[in-house]
Chains A and B, each alone.
Chain A
Amino acid sequence: MSGNLLELSGIHVSYGRAEVLHGISLSMKPGSIVTVIGANGAGKSTLLNAIMGIVPSSGTIVYDGAPVPRSVEGRVAAGLCLVPEKRELFSTMSVEDNIELGGFLRSATERAETREDVYARFPRLAERRKQLAGTLSGGERQMLALARALMSRPRLLLLDEPSLGLAPKIVIDILNIVSELRKTGVSILLVEQNARAALEIADEGYLVELGEVRLSGPASEMAVNPALMESYLGTHS
Protein backbone atom coordinates (compact mmCIF):
# COMPACT_ATOMS: atom_id res chain seq x y z
CA MET A 1 0.00 0.00 0.00
CA SER A 2 1.35 3.38 -0.88
CA GLY A 3 1.37 6.27 1.55
CA ASN A 4 2.97 4.23 4.30
CA LEU A 5 6.35 5.25 5.68
CA LEU A 6 7.26 1.71 6.59
CA GLU A 7 5.86 -1.49 5.22
CA LEU A 8 7.14 -4.84 6.48
CA SER A 9 5.97 -8.05 4.95
CA GLY A 10 6.93 -11.56 5.88
CA ILE A 11 9.98 -10.70 7.97
CA HIS A 12 11.82 -13.84 9.04
CA VAL A 13 14.91 -13.76 11.25
CA SER A 14 16.93 -16.74 12.41
CA TYR A 15 19.77 -17.01 14.89
CA GLY A 16 21.62 -20.05 13.64
CA ARG A 17 19.00 -22.76 13.19
CA ALA A 18 16.43 -21.21 15.47
CA GLU A 19 13.95 -18.97 13.75
CA VAL A 20 12.82 -16.20 16.09
CA LEU A 21 10.58 -14.18 13.77
CA HIS A 22 8.16 -16.15 11.63
CA GLY A 23 6.92 -13.74 9.03
CA ILE A 24 6.03 -10.44 10.66
CA SER A 25 4.05 -7.90 8.67
CA LEU A 26 3.52 -4.37 9.87
CA SER A 27 2.83 -1.00 8.35
CA MET A 28 2.99 2.49 9.68
CA LYS A 29 1.83 5.84 8.38
CA PRO A 30 4.09 8.88 8.34
CA GLY A 31 3.91 10.90 11.53
CA SER A 32 2.40 8.13 13.61
CA ILE A 33 3.47 6.29 16.73
CA VAL A 34 3.19 2.54 16.46
CA THR A 35 3.94 0.35 19.42
CA VAL A 36 4.96 -3.27 19.46
CA ILE A 37 4.18 -4.98 22.75
CA GLY A 38 4.72 -8.49 23.96
CA ALA A 39 6.46 -10.60 26.56
CA ASN A 40 10.19 -10.98 27.00
CA GLY A 41 11.72 -13.03 24.21
CA ALA A 42 8.80 -12.50 21.84
CA GLY A 43 11.19 -11.08 19.26
CA LYS A 44 10.39 -7.39 19.62
CA SER A 45 14.00 -6.20 19.78
CA THR A 46 14.95 -8.58 16.99
CA LEU A 47 12.30 -6.94 14.83
CA LEU A 48 13.81 -3.49 15.40
CA ASN A 49 17.30 -4.83 14.74
CA ALA A 50 16.10 -6.37 11.50
CA ILE A 51 14.54 -3.08 10.39
CA MET A 52 17.83 -1.32 11.18
CA GLY A 53 19.85 -3.98 9.34
CA ILE A 54 21.87 -5.11 12.35
CA VAL A 55 20.59 -8.66 12.02
CA PRO A 56 20.04 -10.21 8.60
CA SER A 57 16.43 -10.92 7.72
CA SER A 58 14.38 -12.22 4.82
CA GLY A 59 11.13 -10.73 3.63
CA THR A 60 10.65 -7.22 2.33
CA ILE A 61 11.14 -3.91 4.07
CA VAL A 62 9.76 -1.00 2.10
CA TYR A 63 10.69 2.37 3.48
CA ASP A 64 9.24 5.54 2.03
CA GLY A 65 8.01 3.70 -1.06
CA ALA A 66 11.32 2.02 -1.94
CA PRO A 67 13.25 -1.01 -0.71
CA VAL A 68 15.27 0.00 2.33
CA PRO A 69 19.04 0.53 1.70
CA ARG A 70 21.15 -2.54 2.34
CA SER A 71 23.70 -1.26 4.86
CA VAL A 72 23.12 0.12 8.34
CA GLU A 73 24.82 3.37 7.31
CA GLY A 74 22.58 3.61 4.26
CA ARG A 75 19.56 3.27 6.48
CA VAL A 76 20.82 5.93 8.89
CA ALA A 77 21.42 8.23 5.94
CA ALA A 78 17.87 7.56 4.73
CA GLY A 79 16.46 8.68 8.08
CA LEU A 80 16.09 5.49 10.09
CA CYS A 81 17.51 5.53 13.57
CA LEU A 82 17.54 2.93 16.33
CA VAL A 83 17.84 3.69 20.03
CA PRO A 84 18.73 0.25 21.29
CA GLU A 85 17.71 -1.23 24.60
CA LYS A 86 21.22 -0.99 25.99
CA ARG A 87 21.62 2.59 24.71
CA GLU A 88 25.09 1.79 23.32
CA LEU A 89 26.51 5.18 24.27
CA PHE A 90 30.18 6.08 23.97
CA SER A 91 30.70 5.89 27.71
CA THR A 92 34.27 7.22 27.90
CA MET A 93 33.46 10.21 25.73
CA SER A 94 31.76 13.45 26.71
CA VAL A 95 28.05 14.11 26.36
CA GLU A 96 28.93 16.71 23.76
CA ASP A 97 30.96 14.25 21.68
CA ASN A 98 28.21 11.63 21.88
CA ILE A 99 25.71 14.14 20.57
CA GLU A 100 28.05 15.37 17.87
CA LEU A 101 28.66 11.83 16.62
CA GLY A 102 24.92 11.31 16.29
CA GLY A 103 25.13 13.66 13.32
CA PHE A 104 28.08 11.88 11.75
CA LEU A 105 26.37 11.54 8.36
CA ARG A 106 24.99 15.08 8.31
CA SER A 107 26.72 18.22 7.14
CA ALA A 108 28.31 20.65 9.59
CA THR A 109 25.53 23.20 9.12
CA GLU A 110 22.83 20.57 9.64
CA ARG A 111 24.62 19.43 12.77
CA ALA A 112 24.81 22.96 14.13
CA GLU A 113 21.08 23.48 13.58
CA THR A 114 20.03 20.18 15.07
CA ARG A 115 22.40 20.59 18.00
CA GLU A 116 20.59 23.73 19.13
CA ASP A 117 17.22 21.97 18.95
CA VAL A 118 18.53 19.02 20.86
CA TYR A 119 20.02 21.07 23.69
CA ALA A 120 16.81 23.09 23.91
CA ARG A 121 14.84 19.87 24.22
CA PHE A 122 17.20 18.37 26.79
CA PRO A 123 18.45 21.23 29.00
CA ARG A 124 19.79 18.62 31.42
CA LEU A 125 22.26 17.47 28.80
CA ALA A 126 23.26 21.03 27.97
CA GLU A 127 24.29 21.43 31.61
CA ARG A 128 26.39 18.29 31.45
CA ARG A 129 28.01 18.82 28.09
CA LYS A 130 31.54 18.13 29.33
CA GLN A 131 30.67 15.19 31.56
CA LEU A 132 31.53 11.67 30.41
CA ALA A 133 28.51 9.72 29.18
CA GLY A 134 29.39 6.83 31.49
CA THR A 135 28.91 9.01 34.58
CA LEU A 136 25.30 9.96 33.80
CA SER A 137 22.30 8.57 35.66
CA GLY A 138 20.00 6.07 33.99
CA GLY A 139 17.43 8.64 32.94
CA GLU A 140 20.08 11.00 31.62
CA ARG A 141 21.64 8.19 29.66
CA GLN A 142 18.33 7.46 28.01
CA MET A 143 17.96 11.15 27.21
CA LEU A 144 21.44 11.19 25.73
CA ALA A 145 20.59 8.15 23.62
CA LEU A 146 17.50 9.97 22.33
CA ALA A 147 19.46 13.17 21.78
CA ARG A 148 22.15 11.32 19.85
CA ALA A 149 19.49 9.69 17.71
CA LEU A 150 17.82 13.05 16.98
CA MET A 151 21.13 14.42 15.71
CA SER A 152 20.86 12.06 12.75
CA ARG A 153 17.63 13.92 11.78
CA PRO A 154 15.57 10.75 11.70
CA ARG A 155 12.24 10.39 9.95
CA LEU A 156 11.58 7.08 11.63
CA LEU A 157 12.82 6.53 15.14
CA LEU A 158 12.99 2.96 16.41
CA LEU A 159 12.88 2.95 20.20
CA ASP A 160 13.68 -0.25 22.04
CA GLU A 161 12.35 -0.27 25.61
CA PRO A 162 13.13 3.37 26.36
CA SER A 163 11.68 3.01 29.85
CA LEU A 164 13.66 -0.09 30.83
CA GLY A 165 15.28 0.18 34.22
CA LEU A 166 14.09 3.71 34.89
CA ALA A 167 12.16 5.08 37.85
CA PRO A 168 8.41 5.50 37.18
CA LYS A 169 8.59 9.28 37.20
CA ILE A 170 11.38 9.28 34.63
CA VAL A 171 9.45 6.80 32.50
CA ILE A 172 6.66 9.36 32.26
CA ASP A 173 9.18 12.07 31.31
CA ILE A 174 10.67 9.91 28.60
CA LEU A 175 7.32 8.90 27.15
CA ASN A 176 6.24 12.54 27.17
CA ILE A 177 9.32 13.42 25.21
CA VAL A 178 8.52 10.61 22.79
CA SER A 179 4.99 11.82 22.15
CA GLU A 180 6.28 15.38 21.80
CA LEU A 181 8.75 14.25 19.18
CA ARG A 182 5.90 13.15 17.01
CA LYS A 183 4.78 16.77 16.73
CA THR A 184 8.03 17.54 14.90
CA GLY A 185 7.03 15.07 12.20
CA VAL A 186 9.12 12.12 13.34
CA SER A 187 7.41 8.75 13.15
CA ILE A 188 8.11 6.41 16.01
CA LEU A 189 8.12 2.66 16.27
CA LEU A 190 8.11 1.95 19.97
CA VAL A 191 8.87 -1.39 21.54
CA GLU A 192 7.74 -1.55 25.15
CA GLN A 193 7.05 -3.99 27.91
CA ASN A 194 5.18 -1.27 29.72
CA ALA A 195 2.19 -1.96 27.47
CA ARG A 196 -0.33 0.33 29.13
CA ALA A 197 1.87 3.39 28.92
CA ALA A 198 2.90 2.59 25.36
CA LEU A 199 -0.67 2.16 24.12
CA GLU A 200 -1.57 5.46 25.72
CA ILE A 201 0.72 7.47 23.46
CA ALA A 202 0.51 5.26 20.36
CA ASP A 203 -1.86 5.38 17.38
CA GLU A 204 -1.55 1.74 16.45
CA GLY A 205 -0.51 -1.30 18.40
CA TYR A 206 0.85 -4.72 17.53
CA LEU A 207 0.99 -7.61 19.94
CA VAL A 208 3.86 -9.97 19.15
CA GLU A 209 4.00 -13.43 20.69
CA LEU A 210 6.67 -16.03 19.93
CA GLY A 211 7.76 -14.27 16.76
CA GLU A 212 4.33 -13.72 15.25
CA VAL A 213 1.82 -10.88 15.24
CA ARG A 214 -1.12 -12.09 17.36
CA LEU A 215 -3.19 -8.95 17.40
CA SER A 216 -3.09 -5.52 15.86
CA GLY A 217 -5.28 -2.49 15.63
CA PRO A 218 -5.79 1.05 16.87
CA ALA A 219 -4.07 1.55 20.19
CA SER A 220 -7.23 2.80 21.87
CA GLU A 221 -9.03 -0.45 21.01
CA MET A 222 -6.14 -2.61 22.07
CA ALA A 223 -5.96 -0.87 25.42
CA VAL A 224 -9.48 -2.09 26.23
CA ASN A 225 -9.17 -5.55 24.68
CA PRO A 226 -10.13 -7.96 27.50
CA ALA A 227 -7.80 -10.80 26.45
CA LEU A 228 -4.86 -8.47 26.13
CA MET A 229 -5.64 -6.75 29.36
CA GLU A 230 -5.51 -9.93 31.30
CA SER A 231 -2.15 -11.12 30.03
CA TYR A 232 -0.23 -7.90 29.44
CA LEU A 233 -1.89 -4.96 31.09
CA GLY A 234 -2.63 -6.56 34.41
CA THR A 235 -6.20 -7.00 35.59
CA HIS A 236 -8.20 -3.86 35.60
CA SER A 237 -8.56 -2.29 38.97
Chain B
Amino acid sequence: MIATFLIQDGVTNGAIYALLGLALVLLFSVTRVIFIPQGEFVAYGALTLALLDGGKVPATTSLLVCFGAVAFLFDLWSMRRGTDIRAFLRSLALNLVLPGVIYGITIVLAPLDLPSVAKALLTILIITPMGVYVYRIAYRPLADASVLVLLIASVGVHLAMMGLGLVFFGAEGLRAEPLADDNYTIGALMVSAQSLCIYGATIAIIVGLYMFFERTLLGKALRATAVNRLGARLVGVRTHLTGVTAFTLAAAIGAVSGVLIGPITTIYYDTGFLIGLKGFVAAIIGGLASFPITAIAAIGVGLVESFSSFFASSYKEVIVFGLIIPVLIWLSLSGGFHEEE
Protein backbone atom coordinates (compact mmCIF):
# COMPACT_ATOMS: atom_id res chain seq x y z
CA MET B 1 0.00 0.00 0.00
CA ILE B 2 2.77 2.40 0.91
CA ALA B 3 4.71 1.27 -2.14
CA THR B 4 1.85 2.10 -4.49
CA PHE B 5 1.55 5.49 -2.88
CA LEU B 6 5.26 6.11 -3.24
CA ILE B 7 5.20 4.96 -6.84
CA GLN B 8 2.37 7.30 -7.63
CA ASP B 9 4.15 10.17 -5.94
CA GLY B 10 7.38 9.36 -7.77
CA VAL B 11 5.74 9.11 -11.17
CA THR B 12 3.93 12.41 -10.61
CA ASN B 13 7.13 14.25 -9.75
CA GLY B 14 8.98 12.30 -12.42
CA ALA B 15 6.56 13.56 -15.06
CA ILE B 16 7.43 17.13 -14.11
CA TYR B 17 11.16 16.36 -14.17
CA ALA B 18 10.64 14.78 -17.57
CA LEU B 19 9.24 18.03 -18.92
CA LEU B 20 12.20 19.95 -17.54
CA GLY B 21 14.68 17.39 -18.80
CA LEU B 22 13.17 17.51 -22.28
CA ALA B 23 13.40 21.30 -22.32
CA LEU B 24 17.07 21.08 -21.29
CA VAL B 25 17.89 18.51 -23.97
CA LEU B 26 16.04 20.60 -26.54
CA LEU B 27 17.95 23.73 -25.63
CA PHE B 28 21.32 22.07 -25.42
CA SER B 29 21.06 20.22 -28.70
CA VAL B 30 19.83 23.25 -30.63
CA THR B 31 21.75 26.09 -28.98
CA ARG B 32 24.49 24.29 -26.94
CA VAL B 33 23.26 26.20 -23.89
CA ILE B 34 23.14 24.28 -20.61
CA PHE B 35 20.18 26.19 -19.32
CA ILE B 36 20.40 26.26 -15.54
CA PRO B 37 17.60 28.85 -15.20
CA GLN B 38 14.98 26.45 -16.60
CA GLY B 39 13.80 25.96 -13.01
CA GLU B 40 13.19 29.70 -12.67
CA PHE B 41 10.51 29.50 -15.35
CA VAL B 42 8.87 26.80 -13.21
CA ALA B 43 9.00 28.93 -10.09
CA TYR B 44 7.75 31.98 -11.96
CA GLY B 45 4.92 29.90 -13.42
CA ALA B 46 3.87 28.44 -10.09
CA LEU B 47 4.07 31.78 -8.26
CA THR B 48 2.18 33.56 -11.04
CA LEU B 49 -0.61 31.01 -10.85
CA ALA B 50 -0.74 31.26 -7.06
CA LEU B 51 -1.04 35.06 -7.23
CA LEU B 52 -3.74 34.83 -9.89
CA ASP B 53 -5.60 32.46 -7.54
CA GLY B 54 -5.52 35.23 -4.97
CA GLY B 55 -7.04 37.65 -7.50
CA LYS B 56 -3.84 39.69 -7.65
CA VAL B 57 -1.97 40.93 -10.68
CA PRO B 58 1.19 38.81 -10.59
CA ALA B 59 4.49 40.67 -10.49
CA THR B 60 5.68 38.61 -13.46
CA THR B 61 3.68 40.88 -15.77
CA SER B 62 5.77 43.92 -14.79
CA LEU B 63 8.85 41.75 -15.03
CA LEU B 64 7.79 40.74 -18.53
CA VAL B 65 7.42 44.39 -19.55
CA CYS B 66 10.90 45.14 -18.14
CA PHE B 67 12.43 42.16 -20.00
CA GLY B 68 10.76 43.32 -23.21
CA ALA B 69 12.06 46.86 -22.77
CA VAL B 70 15.62 45.64 -22.22
CA ALA B 71 15.37 43.36 -25.25
CA PHE B 72 14.14 46.35 -27.27
CA LEU B 73 17.17 48.38 -26.18
CA PHE B 74 19.41 45.52 -27.29
CA ASP B 75 17.70 45.52 -30.67
CA LEU B 76 18.09 49.28 -30.97
CA TRP B 77 21.77 48.99 -30.15
CA SER B 78 22.33 46.37 -32.83
CA MET B 79 20.40 48.53 -35.29
CA ARG B 80 22.54 51.60 -34.64
CA ARG B 81 24.39 51.19 -37.92
CA GLY B 82 21.32 51.66 -40.04
CA THR B 83 18.32 49.39 -40.36
CA ASP B 84 15.19 48.95 -42.36
CA ILE B 85 11.85 50.03 -40.98
CA ARG B 86 10.43 46.49 -41.05
CA ALA B 87 13.02 45.14 -38.63
CA PHE B 88 12.36 48.10 -36.34
CA LEU B 89 8.60 47.59 -36.36
CA ARG B 90 9.00 43.86 -35.79
CA SER B 91 11.20 44.53 -32.79
CA LEU B 92 8.74 47.13 -31.50
CA ALA B 93 5.84 44.70 -31.79
CA LEU B 94 7.65 41.78 -30.23
CA ASN B 95 9.42 43.59 -27.41
CA LEU B 96 7.08 46.40 -26.41
CA VAL B 97 3.60 45.81 -27.79
CA LEU B 98 3.37 42.10 -26.94
CA PRO B 99 4.28 42.43 -23.23
CA GLY B 100 2.07 45.54 -23.07
CA VAL B 101 -0.90 43.62 -24.41
CA ILE B 102 -0.29 40.73 -22.02
CA TYR B 103 -0.02 43.23 -19.18
CA GLY B 104 -3.34 44.76 -20.20
CA ILE B 105 -5.07 41.40 -20.47
CA THR B 106 -3.80 40.36 -17.06
CA ILE B 107 -4.94 43.58 -15.36
CA VAL B 108 -8.41 43.10 -16.77
CA LEU B 109 -8.68 39.39 -16.07
CA ALA B 110 -6.84 39.01 -12.75
CA PRO B 111 -9.56 40.42 -10.45
CA LEU B 112 -12.26 38.31 -12.11
CA ASP B 113 -12.88 34.91 -10.62
CA LEU B 114 -11.72 32.91 -13.62
CA PRO B 115 -11.95 29.14 -13.90
CA SER B 116 -8.65 27.54 -12.96
CA VAL B 117 -7.91 26.37 -16.50
CA ALA B 118 -8.14 29.98 -17.72
CA LYS B 119 -5.77 31.08 -14.98
CA ALA B 120 -3.35 28.34 -15.98
CA LEU B 121 -3.47 29.46 -19.62
CA LEU B 122 -2.96 33.09 -18.62
CA THR B 123 0.09 32.04 -16.60
CA ILE B 124 1.55 30.24 -19.59
CA LEU B 125 0.86 33.31 -21.73
CA ILE B 126 2.74 35.52 -19.28
CA ILE B 127 5.79 33.28 -18.87
CA THR B 128 6.34 32.03 -22.44
CA PRO B 129 7.52 35.33 -24.00
CA MET B 130 10.19 35.52 -21.31
CA GLY B 131 12.05 32.81 -23.23
CA VAL B 132 12.24 35.15 -26.21
CA TYR B 133 13.66 37.98 -24.13
CA VAL B 134 16.09 35.86 -22.13
CA TYR B 135 17.47 34.57 -25.42
CA ARG B 136 17.67 38.06 -26.89
CA ILE B 137 19.34 39.59 -23.85
CA ALA B 138 21.68 36.87 -22.65
CA TYR B 139 22.37 34.35 -25.38
CA ARG B 140 21.92 35.89 -28.80
CA PRO B 141 24.97 38.13 -28.39
CA LEU B 142 26.90 34.94 -27.53
CA ALA B 143 25.65 32.84 -30.44
CA ASP B 144 29.15 31.80 -31.48
CA ALA B 145 30.59 31.35 -28.00
CA SER B 146 31.88 28.06 -26.60
CA VAL B 147 29.76 25.74 -24.44
CA LEU B 148 31.72 26.85 -21.39
CA VAL B 149 31.05 30.54 -21.97
CA LEU B 150 27.38 29.77 -22.51
CA LEU B 151 27.34 27.79 -19.26
CA ILE B 152 28.85 30.71 -17.38
CA ALA B 153 26.21 32.96 -18.92
CA SER B 154 23.58 30.48 -17.70
CA VAL B 155 24.86 30.75 -14.14
CA GLY B 156 24.57 34.52 -14.47
CA VAL B 157 21.04 34.35 -15.88
CA HIS B 158 20.06 31.92 -13.11
CA LEU B 159 21.31 34.24 -10.36
CA ALA B 160 19.69 37.26 -12.02
CA MET B 161 16.33 35.55 -12.47
CA MET B 162 16.38 34.18 -8.92
CA GLY B 163 17.23 37.64 -7.59
CA LEU B 164 14.44 39.20 -9.64
CA GLY B 165 12.13 36.50 -8.28
CA LEU B 166 12.97 37.60 -4.75
CA VAL B 167 12.41 41.26 -5.62
CA PHE B 168 9.13 40.72 -7.40
CA PHE B 169 7.57 37.88 -5.37
CA GLY B 170 9.19 38.31 -1.97
CA ALA B 171 10.62 35.56 0.20
CA GLU B 172 7.27 34.08 1.09
CA GLY B 173 6.25 30.71 -0.35
CA LEU B 174 2.97 30.28 -2.14
CA ARG B 175 0.83 27.36 -3.13
CA ALA B 176 -1.62 27.48 -6.02
CA GLU B 177 -5.05 25.91 -6.02
CA PRO B 178 -5.25 22.62 -7.90
CA LEU B 179 -6.59 22.69 -11.43
CA ALA B 180 -9.16 20.10 -10.40
CA ASP B 181 -10.06 19.11 -6.87
CA ASP B 182 -11.46 15.62 -7.21
CA ASN B 183 -9.98 12.30 -6.23
CA TYR B 184 -10.62 9.01 -7.91
CA THR B 185 -10.14 5.52 -6.58
CA ILE B 186 -8.81 3.00 -9.04
CA GLY B 187 -8.56 -0.36 -7.29
CA ALA B 188 -6.43 0.22 -4.22
CA LEU B 189 -5.06 3.48 -5.59
CA MET B 190 -6.34 6.89 -4.84
CA VAL B 191 -5.47 9.21 -7.69
CA SER B 192 -5.93 12.95 -7.47
CA ALA B 193 -7.26 14.83 -10.45
CA GLN B 194 -4.17 17.04 -10.24
CA SER B 195 -1.90 14.04 -10.84
CA LEU B 196 -4.03 13.06 -13.81
CA CYS B 197 -3.60 16.59 -15.15
CA ILE B 198 0.15 16.22 -14.75
CA TYR B 199 0.26 12.89 -16.60
CA GLY B 200 -2.01 14.22 -19.32
CA ALA B 201 -0.06 17.44 -19.82
CA THR B 202 3.26 15.62 -19.87
CA ILE B 203 2.07 13.12 -22.46
CA ALA B 204 0.47 15.89 -24.52
CA ILE B 205 3.69 17.91 -24.54
CA ILE B 206 5.80 14.89 -25.47
CA VAL B 207 3.44 14.06 -28.33
CA GLY B 208 3.32 17.71 -29.35
CA LEU B 209 7.11 17.97 -29.41
CA TYR B 210 7.32 14.78 -31.41
CA MET B 211 4.88 16.09 -34.00
CA PHE B 212 6.69 19.42 -34.13
CA PHE B 213 10.08 17.82 -34.75
CA GLU B 214 8.85 15.16 -37.17
CA ARG B 215 6.18 16.94 -39.16
CA THR B 216 6.97 20.63 -39.42
CA LEU B 217 9.74 22.24 -41.44
CA LEU B 218 10.66 24.52 -38.54
CA GLY B 219 10.94 21.51 -36.23
CA LYS B 220 13.14 19.74 -38.75
CA ALA B 221 15.26 22.87 -39.00
CA LEU B 222 15.78 22.71 -35.24
CA ARG B 223 16.84 19.07 -35.50
CA ALA B 224 19.09 19.91 -38.42
CA THR B 225 20.74 22.64 -36.39
CA ALA B 226 21.36 20.13 -33.62
CA VAL B 227 22.88 17.62 -36.05
CA ASN B 228 24.99 19.98 -38.13
CA ARG B 229 25.12 23.69 -37.44
CA LEU B 230 27.09 24.62 -40.53
CA GLY B 231 24.83 22.54 -42.76
CA ALA B 232 21.80 24.27 -41.30
CA ARG B 233 23.25 27.70 -41.98
CA LEU B 234 24.04 26.68 -45.55
CA VAL B 235 20.40 25.88 -46.29
CA GLY B 236 19.42 29.26 -44.88
CA VAL B 237 18.32 28.38 -41.34
CA ARG B 238 19.13 31.39 -39.20
CA THR B 239 20.81 30.68 -35.88
CA HIS B 240 18.62 33.34 -34.27
CA LEU B 241 15.45 31.68 -35.53
CA THR B 242 16.26 28.28 -34.08
CA GLY B 243 17.58 29.87 -30.89
CA VAL B 244 14.48 31.92 -30.25
CA THR B 245 12.21 28.98 -31.10
CA ALA B 246 14.05 26.67 -28.70
CA PHE B 247 13.95 29.21 -25.87
CA THR B 248 10.27 29.96 -26.43
CA LEU B 249 9.46 26.26 -26.27
CA ALA B 250 11.58 25.85 -23.14
CA ALA B 251 9.87 28.77 -21.41
CA ALA B 252 6.46 27.40 -22.35
CA ILE B 253 7.38 23.96 -21.02
CA GLY B 254 8.71 25.61 -17.85
CA ALA B 255 5.48 27.55 -17.42
CA VAL B 256 3.39 24.41 -17.87
CA SER B 257 5.54 22.59 -15.33
CA GLY B 258 5.06 25.47 -12.92
CA VAL B 259 1.31 25.41 -13.34
CA LEU B 260 1.31 21.66 -12.73
CA ILE B 261 3.61 21.63 -9.72
CA GLY B 262 2.31 24.84 -8.10
CA PRO B 263 -0.70 23.13 -6.51
CA ILE B 264 1.24 20.12 -5.12
CA THR B 265 4.18 21.86 -3.43
CA THR B 266 4.78 25.21 -1.85
CA ILE B 267 7.00 27.18 -4.19
CA TYR B 268 9.43 29.86 -3.12
CA TYR B 269 11.32 32.23 -5.38
CA ASP B 270 14.32 29.89 -5.25
CA THR B 271 12.58 26.49 -5.39
CA GLY B 272 12.93 26.33 -9.15
CA PHE B 273 16.65 25.68 -9.03
CA LEU B 274 16.35 22.37 -7.17
CA ILE B 275 13.50 21.17 -9.37
CA GLY B 276 15.45 22.19 -12.44
CA LEU B 277 18.50 20.28 -11.25
CA LYS B 278 16.48 17.08 -11.00
CA GLY B 279 15.39 17.58 -14.58
CA PHE B 280 19.05 18.12 -15.30
CA VAL B 281 19.98 14.76 -13.75
CA ALA B 282 17.55 13.12 -16.16
CA ALA B 283 18.89 15.13 -19.10
CA ILE B 284 22.46 14.07 -18.23
CA ILE B 285 21.39 10.42 -18.10
CA GLY B 286 19.99 11.01 -21.58
CA GLY B 287 23.41 12.33 -22.60
CA LEU B 288 21.85 15.79 -23.23
CA ALA B 289 20.85 14.30 -26.55
CA SER B 290 18.16 11.64 -26.24
CA PHE B 291 14.56 12.67 -25.61
CA PRO B 292 13.18 9.19 -24.81
CA ILE B 293 16.01 8.23 -22.43
CA THR B 294 15.62 11.58 -20.68
CA ALA B 295 11.89 11.07 -20.20
CA ILE B 296 12.34 7.56 -18.80
CA ALA B 297 15.25 8.64 -16.62
CA ALA B 298 13.13 11.46 -15.23
CA ILE B 299 10.49 9.00 -14.08
CA GLY B 300 13.32 7.02 -12.50
CA VAL B 301 14.58 10.13 -10.72
CA GLY B 302 11.06 10.77 -9.40
CA LEU B 303 10.78 7.20 -8.10
CA VAL B 304 14.21 7.22 -6.46
CA GLU B 305 13.34 10.52 -4.84
CA SER B 306 10.02 9.35 -3.42
CA PHE B 307 11.41 6.07 -2.10
CA SER B 308 14.48 7.68 -0.60
CA SER B 309 12.43 10.38 1.04
CA PHE B 310 10.46 7.59 2.73
CA PHE B 311 13.35 5.36 3.75
CA ALA B 312 16.14 7.91 4.26
CA SER B 313 14.57 11.30 4.06
CA SER B 314 17.58 13.29 5.20
CA TYR B 315 19.66 11.81 2.39
CA LYS B 316 17.00 12.29 -0.24
CA GLU B 317 18.78 14.92 -2.32
CA VAL B 318 22.16 13.22 -1.93
CA ILE B 319 20.76 9.98 -3.28
CA VAL B 320 19.03 11.68 -6.21
CA PHE B 321 22.06 13.70 -7.26
CA GLY B 322 24.33 10.71 -6.56
CA LEU B 323 22.51 8.95 -9.41
CA ILE B 324 24.47 11.07 -11.81
CA ILE B 325 27.88 9.72 -10.75
CA PRO B 326 27.66 6.16 -12.10
CA VAL B 327 26.09 7.53 -15.26
CA LEU B 328 28.94 9.96 -15.79
CA ILE B 329 31.50 7.23 -15.18
CA TRP B 330 29.72 4.97 -17.62
CA LEU B 331 29.44 7.71 -20.24
CA SER B 332 33.10 8.59 -19.95
CA LEU B 333 34.17 4.93 -20.15
CA SER B 334 31.95 4.13 -23.10
CA GLY B 335 33.93 6.25 -25.49
CA GLY B 336 32.89 9.77 -24.77
CA PHE B 337 31.06 12.32 -26.74
CA HIS B 338 28.74 12.14 -29.65
CA GLU B 339 30.27 15.13 -31.33
CA GLU B 340 28.53 16.52 -34.32
CA GLU B 341 30.00 15.24 -37.50
Contacts and interface: CB of A to CB of B under 8 A. Distances in A.
A112 to B, nearest CB: 12
B237 A91 contact: no
Contacts of B234: 52, 54, 72, 76, 81-82, 84, 88
Interface string B198-241: 00000000000000000001001101100110111111111000
Interface in B284-341: 341
A100 B215 CA distance: 11
Sorting the interface of chain B by its residue count into under 10, 10 to 19, 20 to 34 or 35 or more gives: 10 to 19
B233 A89 contact: no
A179 to B, nearest CB: 23
B78 to A, nearest CB: 13
A101 B227 contact: no
Given A90-B224, A91-B227, A91-B228, A101 B233 contact: no
Contact of A73 (B228, B231, B236): B236
B81 to A, nearest CB: 11
A97 interface: yes
A105 interface: yes
Given A82-B234, A90-B223, A100 B217 contact: yes
A211 B224 CA distance: 33
Contacts of B238: 71, 73
A77 interface: yes
Which of B228, B231, B237: most chain A CB closer than 10 A? B231
Nearest to B214: A97
A152 B228 contact: no
Contacts of A102: 235
B9 to A, nearest CB: 36
A106 to B, nearest CB: 9
Given A90-B223, A90-B224, A101 B230 contact: no
B227 A92 contact: yes
Contacts of A155: none
Contact of B220 (A52, A77, A93, A148): A93
A107 to B, nearest CB: 11
B244 to A, nearest CB: 14
A100 B220 contact: yes
B236 A93 contact: no
Given A90-B224, A93-B220, A104 B231 contact: no
B217 A88 contact: no
A91 B220 contact: no
Contact of B223 (A76, A89, A93): A93
A101 B228 contact: no
Interface string B260-297: 00000000000000000000000000000000000000
A92 B233 CA distance: 17
B341 A101 contact: no
A88 B227 CA distance: 9
Which of B230, B232, B234, B238: most chain A CB closer than 10 A? B234
Nearest to B230: A88
Those 6 A-B pairs whose CB atoms lie nearest each other, nearest first: A88-B231, A76-B236, A105-B236, A90-B227, A90-B224, A73-B236
Given A81-B234, A91-B341, 19 more contacts: A54-B234, A72-B233, A72-B236, A73-B233, A73-B237, A76-B234, A76-B236, A88-B228, A88-B230, A88-B231, A88-B234, A90-B231, A91-B227, A93-B223, A101-B235, A101-B237, A104-B217, A104-B221, A152-B236
Interface of B: 217, 220-221, 223-224, 227-228, 230-238, 341
10 contacts: A54-B233, A76-B235, A88-B230, A90-B232, A92-B227, A93-B224, A100-B217, A101-B217, A134-B341, A152-B235
